Amino acid sequence: EFRRVLFRSVALARVRVEQLIVISYLIHEDFEKALLPYLQQHPIDRYKAGKEAIKDPLLKTFLSSQSHQHLAQVAAAAHQARDPSSDGTEKSLNQSKWTKLDLLSMAKRRDTLTKEKTDICAHPLETSYQAFYRDFSSVIHSGSIALMPDFTVSEILPDGKHVIFPNPAWTRLLAMTLAYWDILGMYEILQRLAIDKKDAFRHLHNEWFLAKSDYFGIDASDP
């Protein structure tokens, strides 16, 4: 049971760092380059999802062909607004993406945009990607890293069977890491909404470093 819970936690943490990178990039990048095309992609993705769902005999009974056609029209209009040369064909909609950046490139670009910040926004998200995202992905997809000692503990049972299970130390690391990502993410969102909570988040940030010292025996002054 512990193994299943920990693997689920790793899966959720992987999604969480991906969300943080994307949201932070959208917040700090120029509106025309990031948030606008991101929003314009939504009706296109809805159309693509509906197109596949309506092919399923069971799901088709819950879907309306008329609504699907409307989604196609809205998607074509959104795509043309972003790219006036778009012909609105199914092929062009299927190939549509709101950005050409992969997640690592997005993290690097975000860090470039925030490197002159003097608050917690200066925390580099490329570091989070390099430290966690690849390893988390490997665990989820049962890659080789999932079997490394950093992730696992092996034990010989009384009946002679050799078992491998997740390292319990990861529970603390996941909890602390997720807490930090939440602090950073919520702070940036509130700042983007012009809700100034710098003092409150500075306190949370300091408390996190003190907790890190208690959890891992790391000097609280060490970033």
CB neighbours of residue 21 within 10 Å: 25
Beta carbons of 74 and 47 less than 8 angstroms apart:
yes
Q: Comparing C-alpha atoms, which of 20, 29, 214, 218 is closest to residue 128?
A: 20
Query: What is the distance between the alpha carbons of residues 68 and 196, in angstroms, rounded to a whole number?
Result: 43
Query: What is the distance between the alpha carbons of residues 155 and 116, in angstroms, rounded to a whole number?
Result: 48
Q: Comparing C-alpha atoms, which of 170, 222, 160, 27 is closest to residue 106?
A: 27
Q: Comparing C-alpha atoms, which of 109, 127, 147 is closest to residue 30?
A: 109
pTM of the model: 0.80
pLDDT in tens, the chain (223 residues): 556 666 677 788 889 999 999 999 999 999 999 999 999 999 999 999 988 888 898 888 888 888 888 998 999 999 989 888 887 788 888 888 999 999 999 999 999 999 999 889 999 999 999 988 887 787 777 654 454 556 666 677 788 777 766 666 677 777 888 899 999 999 999 999 999 888 898 899 888 888 877 776 655 454 4
Q: Which two tokens stand for residue 75?
A: 């998607």
- Dihedral of the CA atoms 132, 135, 139, 145 (nearest 10)? -150
